[in-house]
Structure 1
Amino acid sequence: MSLQELELSNLRQPNGGASDQLARAFLHQLAQDELKRLKASQRAVGYEFGDDATLAEADAVEQIVAQDETDRRATAHVPVPADLAAVAVMLARAVADENGLVRRLRREAPVVAIATNVSDLVEPVRIVAEKCLFRSEAKVVDLAVGRGRELNRRHAALYVCDGIGREARPDKGNEVVGSALHVRIPIVGIAPDPKRQLPRDLMRSAEHRIALPELDHAGLALVIEAVVGSLPTRGLDPDLIRMIEIADLPVAFRRTDTPDACIVALESILVAKADFLGDGPTLEVLDGYGEAKIWGLAAAADLRAYRAGRLAWEQIDHRGLLLSGPPGVGKTSFAKALAKSARVPLVATSVAEWNASDYLSGTLQAIRKIFAQAKSRAPCILFIDELDGISDRSEIRGEHVQYWTQVVNLFLELLAGVDERPGVVVVAATNHPQRIDPAVKRSGRLDREIKIEKPDTTSLARIFRYHLGDELLPDAPTFPLALAARGMTGADVEAFVRRAKGTARREGREVSVDDLLVEIRQGRRPLPTSVRRRVAIHEAGHAIVAHVLEFGEIKGLSLYDDGGEVSLEFAGTDGATLPHLEAALSSILAGRIAEEIEFGTGSIGAGNGPTSDLAMATQLARDIELRFGLGHLGNIYLEATAGELIAIPGLLPAIKERLHQAGERARRLIVKYRPPLQAIARQLDENGYLSREEVEKNLSGVARDAIAGITECKLDSAQAQ
């Protein structure tokens, strides 16, 4: 952006024109004060500008240095500290927007409350207010530390509160404010959140309540001019402008002497903060997020449209999300990727950070500060981790009730003020959603909760490929790695790849698949060859019978280090009849039946534990008799009781007969379709995984019965090692 464009932009800005006339006046005032300070500093070392007598008494070297400074300062620009210059511009614009306030502060006795939003700005605002708001002859006192009885009409009063200490309460300071009101002098209160932190009587008397605006291009140009003496000829990316914090300016401008160099230095600092502009994955390329990814992509599209002006904030329905799930599933990575997809900043915090303060006021201020920061960077993603750290108020007891009630209430207030923070999408994460106050989940707050499950085998394979990249093991299949890592998370995969790289680097060679498997298994042994073959037959038996009896649609077959699995999906859960349930029984028992046919005997894997095939089949047969009203007892429903198999006459024989009939049905089908059974088992044994398409290819000649699936199920074979 050229200087001419900057100036035209300034004239078009709501805060431009006359408002910046006041800003320039404030900056001039600060420059004059800085000049006085520099002269006083020179006098302190024994000489003053142009004081030849003093120079004559100085040593020879000092004479050279002092004379050079005198010559340069006669024409040199006096720089204003960058942070004060920025605050001067913001404060001047806020004051100028209040009709007649400048004149009133110098001629009358108005009461003004200034919201800085963050505690870091309180002190620079105090300095600028003291030097620029009042008449030059006014004696400015801080009522927060002064005595009201000493006030007279020659005074002007500030009440400054950073919002952190114990005194940051509306019931403090009212007596001294009352004295200032009686004397009728101008009073300016300064605090991050005046309503909660300034004296109650000051806020009741306040005729003007103003808040500091954000810096824009024109305001930044004024700051640079105040620091180095002239306006820049180029601008900043609008995305970076939103990332500016006042503390960035002194750091960026410390070693610069031209306006464009200021822009370049500031740009380098802001780019480092703007993760969404740098490298890293977008949500589109990440796997394993399921419904959360669908929500995130919609939210990203809405935010992009909002930034472009095509969508109003009121039209956006993706404003708040509560992510839950076990550690390591990538809740934080989701927030980062969402910000990159939406091309907006990520403002990240955690409840642990809020609670780091020694005082309640510090915790409250930390919450307010992060919401203010997010508002200043909007549109953005505000990510709050460890949300369960904010207690459910109904569970709080004893001396902590008052503390946590205030914390929760403030959080709820800020969360509910969605219309006061346009462009801020809040994403919170927790491992324990049941511990969160129900009010947090109400409509208009975090009213959408999505649980991120651990990734399935397919997602794990893609996550491995992402972390390996295109150059590392480009031709190696990642499914064997995913199968070995079943039950792991994306964070686990990242760690496995990192440690495998480290091992290979220390040994001076390339990473191998075996390196990764060693890290994944951590000493756990894979299935022995003979057991692996048996498990493959077992899972193939499930697949054959489930396919023939239409017990769901096969999604895939897998072999793991501790067993195998057939993953099935189903059309619905309602309307099941006895034929549906009998098909389910045969499909569940088919694994063990296939073992008996191929090996002459079944293994204990089918009955190894309460989630085994035999346990599932026995429970279903029992439910047919006692819960579903489809057994020999007729229409009856009985809850499970201890010893029922013996206590209820005929129940055990009925269950046994039903399981026998289901097993025999499975046996007939497996014998009939033994060749495809063996083909599926052989491929599964070799590859460790068969997709839906690969299974269907082997079942192309196998006829199906007209029985629909009833529910979702995974048939496992956990083998004892």
Structure 2
Amino acid sequence: MNAAKIGPDKALKRDVLARAFLRSLKRIERKDMLQRDRFRHDILDGDDGVTRRVRAIDSAPRGDRVLIRADLAAVAVLVARAIEAEPGLLRRLRHDAPVVTIATHVGGVGALVRRIVQRCVFGDGRMVVEPSRGSSIGARKGDAALIVWDGADKRDANEIGNDVVAAMLHARVPFIGVAPDPRRELPRDLVRAADAAIALPSLDPSALALVVEAVVGSRPTRVFDHALLSTIEVADLTVALRCAVDPEAALDAIARILSAKNEHVHEGPTLRELQGYGEAREWGLALAHDLKLFRSGAIAWRDLDTRALLTGPPGVGKSSFVGIVARECSLPLVATSVADWHQSEYLSGTLRCIREVFASARSRAPCILFIDELDGISDRAEFRGQYVQYWSQVVNLILELLSAGDELEGVVVVAATNFPDRIDAAIRRAGRLDREIAIGLPGMASLSAIFRQYIANELPSDVSLTPLALAAHGRTGADVEAWVRRARGVARRAGRGILLDDILTEIRAGRPPLPVDVRRRIALHEAGHVIVYLELKLGPEVDLVLHDGGGEAFVTVNLAGDATYDRVEAYLSVLLAGRLAEEIGLGAVSLGGASDLTKATALARDLELRFGNGLTGLVQIEPYDGDLVMVRGLLEAVSERLRAAEAHARILLERSWASVEAVAASLEAAGYLAGPDVLAIVAKAQASPPSSDRSDQDPRTTDPNIADLGPDWEAEPCTGASS
């Protein structure tokens, strides 16, 4: 039961056992304190002034306040709650011989659980036997047995220690096994014999109030933020409460520690403010919406889309995106990476680290588990040599953990990679990380918005950031953050506010803008692509960019399996239109359009070899590097096909040259034209008819096969000249 949903009276009634454990710890601490006092008096037997003063302080009345370590108090409360959830379990542990496993979910708390079990669960007067691996130690009637394996030793595995377990079971004594993941880290026979398998619950606000009361002597009057508390670890309490003297100050100290630890989760733009994240943003918003329904009980966890693999080049903000989703969903973020897993020298350490991460996520559910650099574990199909067994065990464990549906209820698993093809196919199958979401480089509008987010109010809102986006074309949000930070430093050292030129200087890093004549040539080149694309009615989706490194025309063309033969030929004309526009407008062709010619040549080759209508007839030949010279007649056929496509493009360009000039001039001036801008410019140019019609309507421009684009689209950049 969630303590946040029950009233104070019920919470106090439920925590009767926890309060009893805390009182027991106080008695033990008081006894230990008296022993320490006697020891100090024994060694301070001198007669100097300092010694007399220390004696006076030690003999002064202390009152009844006995402090308990914060982490020990927290574990006492959690162990008590776990036992209390099993009716009659404490009585059986003290008067019978049950076998119990306790899952701590995380490493590092085993020693604290041991103290609570010894002092509070079994009781002070009982002999507790802790057999080690391979030990021959036995237990007698009236004893109790305890195994605490924290997963840190490579021998903490279910195939080790079963002989010891057999001896303890034969002695018929109460037997407790403690581990982060008992099923994998305790002896197999101990798990099989368990009469009860309990787990430490999460530390909720009512449990935290008990801990604060035990540490500072009084109970806080306000309830701690449940969302912030979901990120806490036991060690945080020791740090936060080391100097606490009253309960309210204690809660403030805990809040400061947790806020600092999770700063990356609680700052930055909201998910709705993100630009350029496309499908990823929509997935995050859908998850946030469905989580609200889940929390209200309207839907089950299995109805949520909770597995995702984020792909994309470095710097596009995959990690930042996950943090923003966590904030949007009000979920704690458990972040790890494959590099973290491999810090151990041994396979056992790597496997333990992986298990601990998943266990930690389960203990904080609902939460987001983020695994970065997932490609670091590679694909089993590529394993070779002496490391096959090592890597196979790593992949197999990850597959096992990802497939544990019930155990991962409440955990959203998100992984990120720059190289999705390197990931084992089994990890990406249905039920594991089966949803792949690509995050690409931001476009012009997104770059402008990202600059605005980082600059905030340092530049007036009416200052256009398009020049920055143009100079930053092809770069990432991480680059934007670095440029703005460095430009802000330049302005700070100059004793003034940041200027647009400061950021441009950082972006260009000494690289000059395009010369005027090169800028004109590239503008014509990209305008040629777009005008032929529009003339052939291949679609209205266009985007033109003229940046410091050259230019690009983004057009949408269906090149999938349902594309018609005529449509592919039409795209050949689009590819060749850029260099042709240079020739018509400037009388010469630059070498910058070579990439367009490369694409066109490959496409013409495919038409001849693969689609049944070319040189080879009804035969498909898979292309290879030397096929233009190895297949007789292919070079000539490809060349002829390209010449025909160029001739077609020439007719269209000459007929619409006024539109080419208008689009090129606007692109040269603005640096960026979106689709609606281009269409408006073309419509205005066409309103003033040319002096003569250069050609009759070409039949291919009205072919219904070309006009029908079909459902499958791809964005294809036609790249212009480069400086």
TM-score by length of 2: 0.88
Q: Tell me how far apart the structure 1 counterparts of residues 616 and 185 of structure 2 sit (CA, whole Å).
A: 73
Q: Tell me how far apart the structure 2 counterparts of residues 464 and 276 of structure 1 sit (CA, whole Å).
A: 19
* Equivalent residue in structure 1 for 2:249, among 239, 245, 261: 261
Q: Once the two structures are superposed, what CA deviation does each residue of 1:164-198 show, in whole Å capped at 9, x if it has no partner?
A: 11331234333333333333332222222222222
- SS of 1:568 mapped into structure 2: strand
Letter in structure 1 aligned against 2:18? A
Q: More displaced, 660-669 or 288-297?
A: 660-669
Letter in structure 2 aligned against 1:539? E
Q: Tell me how far apart the structure 1 counterparts of residues 621 and 112 of structure 2 sit (CA, whole Å).
A: 75
- SS of 1:42 mapped into structure 2: helix
Q: Once the two structures are superposed, what CA deviation does each residue of 1:569-621 show, in whole Å capped at 9, x if it has no partner?
A: 24675665565455434433333333333223333333x2xx32x34444545
Cα contact 1:276–1:343 (8 A) shared by 2: no
Structure 1 pair 151–591 and aligned structure 2 pair: CA distance change class (3 A): closer
Residue 548 of structure 1: aligned partner: 535
Unaligned runs of 5+ in 1: 49-53
Cα contact 1:276–1:344 (8 A) shared by 2: no
Matches within 5 A, 1:68-79: 69-73=58-62, 75-79=63-67
* Equivalent residue in structure 2 for 1:706, among 694, 702, 705: 702
Residue 27 of structure 1: aligned partner: 22
* Equivalent residue in structure 2 for 1:683, among 663, 666, 671: 666
Q: Once the two structures are superposed, what CA deviation does each residue of 1:336-383 show, in whole Å capped at 9, x if it has no partner?
A: 111122121111111111221233333222222222222232222111
Structure 1 pair 86–615 and aligned structure 2 pair: CA distance change class (3 A): closer
Deviation at 1:662, TM superposition (A): 4.2
Deviation at 1:696, TM superposition (A): 0.9
Structure 1 pair 11–622 and aligned structure 2 pair: CA distance change class (3 A): same
Q: Tell me how far apart the structure 1 counterparts of residues 265 and 590 of structure 2 sit (CA, whole Å).
A: 57
Q: More displaced, 500-509 or 659-668?
A: 659-668
Matches within 5 A, 1:442-481: 442-472=429-459, 474-481=461-468
Residue 209 of structure 2: aligned partner: 221
Cα contact 1:590–1:663 (8 A) shared by 2: yes
Q: Once the two structures are superposed, what CA deviation does each residue of 1:522-574 show, in whole Å capped at 9, x if it has no partner?
A: 34343221121122122222222322221332422221333322211246756
Matches within 5 A, 1:595-634: 595-606=582-593, 608=594, 611-612=595-596, 614-630=597-613
Cα contact 1:415–1:445 (8 A) shared by 2: yes
Structure 1 pair 187–530 and aligned structure 2 pair: CA distance change class (3 A): same
Residue 219 of structure 2: aligned partner: 231
Q: More displaced, 700-709 or 587-596?
A: 700-709
- SS of 2:269 mapped into structure 1: coil
Identity of aligned residues (%): 49
Structure 1 pair 556–237 and aligned structure 2 pair: CA distance change class (3 A): same
Residue 694 of structure 2: aligned partner: none
- SS of 1:420 mapped into structure 2: coil
Q: Once the two structures are superposed, what CA deviation does each residue of 1:671-708 show, in whole Å capped at 9, x if it has no partner?
A: 33333322221111111111112111111153995353
Q: Tell me how far apart the structure 1 counterparts of residues 111 and 507 of structure 2 sit (CA, whole Å).
A: 54
- SS of 2:702 mapped into structure 1: coil
Q: Once the two structures are superposed, what CA deviation does each residue of 1:385-430 show, in whole Å capped at 9, x if it has no partner?
A: 1112224334334443443333323322222223223221010111
- How many residues align structurally? 701
Residue 692 of structure 2: aligned partner: none
Q: Tell me how far apart the structure 2 counterparts of residues 247 and 575 of structure 1 sit (CA, whole Å).
A: 60
Structure 1 pair 543–213 and aligned structure 2 pair: CA distance change class (3 A): closer
Structure 1 pair 212–696 and aligned structure 2 pair: CA distance change class (3 A): same
The question of 1:506 aligning with 2:502 is answered no
Structure 1 pair 321–115 and aligned structure 2 pair: CA distance change class (3 A): same
Deviation at 1:32, TM superposition (A): 0.6
Deviation at 1:34, TM superposition (A): 0.2
* Equivalent residue in structure 1 for 2:171, among 183, 199, 214: 183
Q: Tell me how far apart the structure 1 counterparts of residues 607 and 134 of structure 2 sit (CA, whole Å).
A: 83
Structure 1 pair 65–9 and aligned structure 2 pair: CA distance change class (3 A): farther
Q: Tell me how far apart the structure 1 counterparts of residues 280 and 34 of structure 2 sit (CA, whole Å).
A: 62
- SS of 2:406 mapped into structure 1: helix
Matches within 5 A, 1:354-373: 354-373=341-360
Residue 51 of structure 1: aligned partner: none
Unaligned runs of 5+ in 2: 688-696
Q: More displaced, 635-644 or 421-430?
A: 635-644
Residue 347 of structure 1: aligned partner: 334
* Equivalent residue in structure 2 for 1:716, among 701, 715, 718: 718
Deviation at 1:504, TM superposition (A): 3.0
Q: Tell me how far apart the structure 2 counterparts of residues 248 and 646 of structure 1 sit (CA, whole Å).
A: 70
Structure 1 pair 351–603 and aligned structure 2 pair: CA distance change class (3 A): closer
Cα contact 2:131–2:137 (8 A) shared by 1: no
Cα contact 1:547–1:554 (8 A) shared by 2: no
Residue 676 of structure 2: aligned partner: 693
Q: Tell me how far apart the structure 2 counterparts of residues 218 and 269 of structure 1 sit (CA, whole Å).
A: 19
Cα contact 2:41–2:55 (8 A) shared by 1: no
Q: Tell me how far apart the structure 2 counterparts of residues 628 and 639 of structure 1 sit (CA, whole Å).
A: 10
Cα contact 1:303–1:342 (8 A) shared by 2: yes
Q: More displaced, 137-146 or 459-468?
A: 137-146
Deviation at 1:31, TM superposition (A): 0.6
Q: Tell me how far apart the structure 2 counterparts of residues 644 and 320 of structure 1 sit (CA, whole Å).
A: 46
Cα contact 1:346–1:381 (8 A) shared by 2: yes
Letter in structure 1 aligned against 2:61? R
Q: CA RMSD in A?
A: 3.2
TM-score by length of 1: 0.88
